[in-house]
Structure 1
Amino acid sequence: MPYVKIQVTDEGVTSSQKQRLIAQTTEMLSDVLNKDPATTFVVIEEVPLENWGISGLPVHELRRKQQR
């Protein structure tokens, strides 16, 4: 019974994109590990951008620096 948690920033991921992530992740686990899709759980969590950091900086600050 695989459980996969996908975290993305809350920057407009569409329902269609989420559906594709769920379907393709389930398919991959079935193909690679021979897991039953009926017992495969995929959870997508949208994290507020202000709560996401890279290289020791909040994403919005990192992007601001990269634009300079």
Structure 2
Amino acid sequence: MPIINVQMFPGRTAEQKAAMAQKVTDAFLETCGRPGQSPASVTVIITEVAHEHWAVGGKLDS
């Protein structure tokens, strides 16, 4: 049972998140899945991280 974690900034709609989760699931199954593996076996966890809690290159994104 693969678990795929996606961390991103808040602000996407439920529809955007659903579409992303579907495409990530499809991509996993296409590239790493076993023959006949069900999409229901893939878990995608979306964590929204506020800008003030995200730093790149030692600098906060906020």
After TM superposition, the score normalised by the length of structure 1 is 0.79
Write 1 or 2 for the structure with the bigger share of helix: 1
Greater relative contact order (CA < 8 Å, ≥ 6 in sequence):
2
Corresponding residue of 2:25: 26
Give every structure 1 segment of 4 or more consecutive aligned residues whose post-TM-superposition deviation is greater than 4 Å: none
When normalised by structure 2's length, the TM-score is 0.86
- Counterpart in 2 of 1:6? 6
Q: What CA RMSD, in Å, does the superposition of the two structures yield over aligned residues?
A: 1.0
Q: Percent sequence identity over matched residues? A: 29
Any idea what SS the aligned residue of 1:19 has?
A: helix
Q: Which runs of 5+ in 2 are unaligned?
A: none
